[in-house]
Amino acid sequence: MGQLPKIIVILGPTASGKTEWGIKVAKKFNGEIISADSRQVYKGMDIGTAKPDGVKSSKLKVIKSGERNVGCGLQPLPPTPLLAEGDNTIYVVDGVPHHLMDIVEPDEEFTLADFKQRAMVVIDDILKRGRLPIVVGGTGLYIQALVDNLDIPKVAPNLKLRADLEKKSLSELVEMLKNIDPESAQKIDLHNPRRVLRALEVALDSGESFARQQKKGPDLYDALQIGISLPREELYSRINARVDKQMADGLLEETKKLAKKFDWRLPSMSGIGYKQIGYFLRGEMSLVAAIEILKRDTRHYAKRQMTWFKRDKLINWINDEIQVEELVKFFLDKK
């Protein structure tokens, strides 16, 4: 077996600066970014998901050195046959293509299996064009699916079962999961209704543990994982500042607009940001209180992300940009 293709993974908790680091690495090492963020896949959910400012463009390729430069150095490429129709757009941020960002409507289902399949196609396309795939994000399960080649359970969505489960509160669902599938209850994010629902659905439909079905396969890639390490106080300060900026940028208006079209019970609408502003819009609390809850819940989410990532001993934790560049260069030069 020959050498595995190399990819870079830049991960960390929310508000740690992953987007900025990813763009710098992409510019330095001729790369393109694959977003591993389960919330930034949704169209129209920009402020609440902290989506970077960018523009949508048709499928692109970067012009090789020596070719005539046009605009930001990108020109159209025929659609990739393996991508479904409608997927042939890329979100470009500061001249760097970002894949799997802004690709589905908030009421469309987008599963872990969907992410893995699409990400593999995109990575293959990037490699064929002689560029470096850089996976950037904070959704631990998305990253693990690629790095560990998880075999995702093939259990199809059971709409009737879901409808019954969705009538229950999150605490009731968690209790059910602990009784039916205690192994999964120890491994998944019990604060994420979507994950709890899916684990229950798979366990009830298949009669097997959801966690046990996510087996690791042979490695697909030689992956260098870089984690952004920040002192807790600095991270929490960044989170609070980000929420204040989101409110100034129009998070309230964005949520109002979305609420007119989409049900609050959708996974997209129950995500951090929209869920908390929803408390205010439905008259359940004041705006000041909702903002404080948003800051608190985001801090808690960042803590859970770090708990997840710390389990992986192959992650290189770094807090210096120069170290990142040196680590990537050494990795790419290594035979």
Instruction: Give the dihedral of Cα atoms 166, 170, 173, 175; nearest 10 deg.
Output: -160
Number of domains in the chain: 3
Residue 189 shares a structural domain with residue 88: no
Mind listing the pLDDT tens digit of every residue in the chain (335 residues)?
469 999 999 999 999 999 999 999 999 999 999 999 999 999 999 999 999 999 987 654 443 333 322 233 333 333 333 333 345 578 999 999 999 999 999 999 898 889 999 999 999 999 999 999 999 999 999 999 999 999 887 677 777 888 888 888 888 889 999 998 988 888 777 877 878 888 888 888 878 888 777 788 999 999 999 999 999 999 999 999 999 999 999 999 999 999 999 999 898 998 999 999 999 999 999 999 999 999 999 999 999 999 999 999 999 999 888 999 999 999 999 97
CATH number for 92:
3.40.50.300
Do residues 251 and 22 make contact, with C-beta atoms less than 8 angstroms apart? no
Strand partners, 42: 104
Residue 166 shares a structural domain with residue 87: no
Residue 165 shares a structural domain with residue 69: no
CATH number for 293:
1.10.287.890
Q: What HEC string does the chain produce? A: CCCCCEEEEEECCCCCCHHHHHHHHHHHCCEEEEECCCCCCECCCCCCCCCCCCEEEECEEECCCCCCCCCCCEEECCCCCCCCCCCCEEEEECCEEEECCCCECCCCCCCHHHHHHHHHHHHHHHHHCCCEEEEEECCHHHHHHHHCCEECCCCCCCHHHHHHHCCCCHHHHHHHHHHHCHHHHHHCCCCCHHHHHHHHHHHHHHCCCHHHHCEECCCCCEEEEEEECCCHHHHHHHHHHHHHHHHHHCHHHHHHHHHCCCCCCCCCCCCCCHHHHHHHHCCCCCHHHHHHHHHHHHHHHHHHHHHHHCCCCCCEEECCHHHHHHHHHHHHHCC
Predicted TM-score (pTM) of this structure: 0.84
308 is a domain residue: no
Exposed, middle or buried, 163 (CB in 10 Å: 0-12/13-18/19+)?
exposed
pLDDT digits (tens, 9 = 90+) for 291-304: 999 999 999 999 99
Residue 109 shares a structural domain with residue 237: no
175 is a domain residue: yes
For the beta carbon of residue 68, count every other beta carbon within 10 angstroms: 6
Range of the domain at 167: 159-213
Residue 114 shares a structural domain with residue 200: no
48 is a domain residue: yes
Residue 139 shares a structural domain with residue 283: no
Residue 190 shares a structural domain with residue 259: no
Residue 130 shares a structural domain with residue 144: yes
Residue 28 shares a structural domain with residue 138: yes
Find the angle CA(30)-CA(33)-CA(37) to the nearest 5 degrees: 165
Residue 92 shares a structural domain with residue 148: yes
Cα 204 to chain centroid, rounded: 27
Instruction: Give the dihedral of Cα atoms 10, 45, 81, 136; nearest 10 deg.
Output: 0
Q: What HEC string does 144-178 produce? A: HHHHCCEECCCCCCCHHHHHHHCCCCHHHHHHHHH
